[in-house]
């Protein structure tokens, strides 16, 4: 081989060596980019227990080993708040310390199975606090709101309904008109039965005669007043407003079927919780006999409850309390199941959900194609003093935050100003540590509530 060919070969080899070096450098850069910073580890799990609106809220805070990186999640079970807090601090915390925060589904499954006995409100709410806090951390790491992490929006905001109530029909309809003036297109209407402890409505001073001294409720009486309310609401409020009504599981199964049939001509948006979880087989009778849309699920914490209703298309809206089901992670899966079977979402959104939980609701609302409607409860000044960045309501629509994670910061000093039992106005519930008391029929029989 002559000298010219040797030089050409040497140059080619050098070029190949340079390409190989560049390739190695590029591969190293890709590996670093893919690997990113080390996965954060859980350093601490704590509970922020506060009641700025009187209801006992549980917020779980997870702190990582990376400076300034933490997240918040809602685990509110206001009727048994102290038990959830203990479950988080005494059982989940030692189980979680040192685990990587980026394995959210894996951690959910581990927590869910670690107690062996599962599908209960205490454990599920505790897991929800952890789960939502991990999603918050993930969003803060990425510099994105949670809705961007799960595929982005399907809609700009979530259409909401709010609550109109009154001790009598005129009071309730006045309340509904005020909400319509605020921009709500969907109104849940509730009315009291004279002298009785009706759900979600005022009560007249006169008490009905009974064989006991406690609150009285008679389903047949409420049946008549609620039906009359809905008839008047449709007549007086017009055809454009969407009407909803909550039966709150207080009727007998047969009465529930009758009521769903009776309101069919009034074209409700939906009839909420017509049956208790123990009686869900009766949804087959409702479906067979009328076309009234039904919504169910705020007490559900087990797949054995929601799976048959969704897969048999026995309900129109699944309205699970997200923390009760275990958090954001399982509720995305429930929504996906509902989409396949034509069941829409209507997540439970009362005052006994923290603003963090409401933000999780709003996020699910905009990322799930089969969104139906969102229950909305306003945040008073004390709540907003504790929780900075609450979901925003405009013209009857609620918007999730565009800030990283849930977009909420919790002022722990402000939270400490409102311990459990503060806020006033809850009477017996404060004496029972947030628990509900008893409601009986005239003869003394306990009713479901």
Active-site residues: which are they?
199, 248
According to DSSP, the β-strands at 392-394 and 397-399 are: antiparallel
**Structural element, H or E, at residue 345:** strand 344-345
Task: State the Cα–Cα distance between residues 331 and 329, nearest whole angstrom.
Answer: 6
Asked whether the beta carbons of 250 and 256 are under 8 A apart, the reply is no
Contact 392, 399 (CB under 8 A): yes
Determine the Cα–Cα distance for residues 121 and 81; give it in Å rounded to an integer.
10
Length of the chain as a residue count = 449
- Ramachandran quadrant class, 389 (left: phi over 0; alpha: psi -120 to 50; beta: rest): left
DSSP 443: T
**Among all chains, which residue has been given the structure tokens 């992490």?**
149
Strands 42-50 and 57-64: antiparallel
- Residue pair 136/405 in contact by the 8 Å Cβ criterion: yes
Q: Please tell me whether residue 271 adopts helix, strand or coil conformation.
A: strand
Residue 22 CA to residue 28 CA, distance in Å, equals: 10
Q: In this structure, is the dihedral angle defined by the CA atoms of residues 132, 134, 140 and 144, taken in order, positive or negative? A: negative
C-alpha to C-alpha distance for 202 and 221, rounded to whole angstroms = 15
Parallel/antiparallel/unpaired status of strands 409-410 and 387-388: antiparallel
Q: At what angle do helices 328-341 and 355-367 cross, to 10 degrees?
A: 30
Other beta carbons less than 10 A from residue 392's beta carbon: 12
| Residue 31 to residue 54: CA distance in whole angstroms | 51
Which H or E run contains 387? Answer: strand 387-388
């Amino acid at each position: 081989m002559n000298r010219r060919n040797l030089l050409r070969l040497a140059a080619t080899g050098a070029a190949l060596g340079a390409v190989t070096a560049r390739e190695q450098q590029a591969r190293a850069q890709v590996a670093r980019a893919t690997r990113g910073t080390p996965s954060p580890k859980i350093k601490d799990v704590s509970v922020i227990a506060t009641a700025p609106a009187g209801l006992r809220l549980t917020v779980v805070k997870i702190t990582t080993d990376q400076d300034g990186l933490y997240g918040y999640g809602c685990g509110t079970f206001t009727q048994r708040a102290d038990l959830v807090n203990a479950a988080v601090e005494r059982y989940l915390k030692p189980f979680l310390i040192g685990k990587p925060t980026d394995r959210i589904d894996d951690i959910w499954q581990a927590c869910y199975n670690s107690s062996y006995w599962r599908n209960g409100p205490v454990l599920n709410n505790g897991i929800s606090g952890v789960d939502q806090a991990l999603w918050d951390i993930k969003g803060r790491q990425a510099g994105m709101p949670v809705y961007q992490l799960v595929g982005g929006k399907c809609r700009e905001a979530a259409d909401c309904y709010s609550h109109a109530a009154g001790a009598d029909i005129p009071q309730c309809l006045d309340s509904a008109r005020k909400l319509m003036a605020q921009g709500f297109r969907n109104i849940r209407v509730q009315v009291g039965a004279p002298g009785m402890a009706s759900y979600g409505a005022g009560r007249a001073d006169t008490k009905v005669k009974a064989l006991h001294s406690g609150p009285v409720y008679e389903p047949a009486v409420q049946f008549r007043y609620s039906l009359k309310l809905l008839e008047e609401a449709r007549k007086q409020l017009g055809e454009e407003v969407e009407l909803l009504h909550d039966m709150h599981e207080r009727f007998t199964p047969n009465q529930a079927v009758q009521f769903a049939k009776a309101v069919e001509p009034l074209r409700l948006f939906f009839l909420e919780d017509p049956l208790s979880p123990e009686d869900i087989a009766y949804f087959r009778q409702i479906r067979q006999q009328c076309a009234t849309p039904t919504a169910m699920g705020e007490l559900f914490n087990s797949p054995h409850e929601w799976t048959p209703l969704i897969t048999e298309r026995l309900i129109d809206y699944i309205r699970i309390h997200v923390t009760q089901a275990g958090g954001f992670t399982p509720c995305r899966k429930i929504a996906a199941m509902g989409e396949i079977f034509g069941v829409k979402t209507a997540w439970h959104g009362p005052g006994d959900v923290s603003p963090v939980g409401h933000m999780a609701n709003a996020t699910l609302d905009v990322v799930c194609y089969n969104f139906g409607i969102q229950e909305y409860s306003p945040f008073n000044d004390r709540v907003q003093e504790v929780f900075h960045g609450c979901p925003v309501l405009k013209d009857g629509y609620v918007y999730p935050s565009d800030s990283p994670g849930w977009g909420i910061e919790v002022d722990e000093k402000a939270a400490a100003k409102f311990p459990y039992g503060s806020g006033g106005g809850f009477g017996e519930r404060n004496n029972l540590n947030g628990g509900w008391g008893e409601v009986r029929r005239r003869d003394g029989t306990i009713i479901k509530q």
